[in-house]
């Protein structure tokens, strides 16, 4: 099973964002206070428990606890913040993003696999 890594600092984000030139990343922006976000996290983990794309790193950002990181992601990607929100970033470009109820195992499989 693939696992996600939580990041909490802008320094971690900068390293990850720069690294997307060699390995893409999927970022889930998660609100710990939102039931829709709890559902998105379940879908994210459900995708990771099956047959996820192993050529991608999986990152979680808790938007309430790590607001500066969430804001920096929005600034660096040019994608307006939402939560829950998922972004697939390759070569410092967001090639796919969606939010709320559109974050499903099926949707992730269709895009990432």
Q: Which residues of 2-18 are buried (b: 16+ CB within 10 A; e: fewer)?
A: bebeebeebebbeebbe
Q: 93: which strand partners?
A: 90
pLDDT in tens, 101-111: 999 999 999 99
35 to each of 2, 58, 92, 97, 104, how far by Cα in Å? 24, 21, 30, 20, 14
pLDDT in tens, 31-71: 999 999 999 999 999 999 998 999 999 999 999 999 999 99
At which residue do the structure tokens 């992730």 appear?
108
């Amino acid at each position: 099973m693939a696992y996600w890594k939580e990041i909490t600092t802008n320094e971690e984000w900068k390293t990850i964002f720069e690294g997307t030139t060699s390995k893409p990343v999927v970022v889930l922006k998660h609100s710990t206070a939102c039931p829709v976000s709890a559902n998105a996290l379940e879908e994210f983990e459900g995708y990771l428990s099956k047959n996820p794309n192993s050529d991608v790193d999986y990152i979680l950002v808790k938007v309430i606890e790590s607001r500066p990181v969430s804001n920096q992601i929005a600034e660096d990607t040019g994608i307006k913040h939402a939560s829950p929100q998922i972004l697939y970033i390759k070569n410092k470009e967001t090639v796919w993003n969606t939010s709320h109820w559109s974050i499903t195992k099926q949707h992730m499989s269709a895009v990432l696999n």
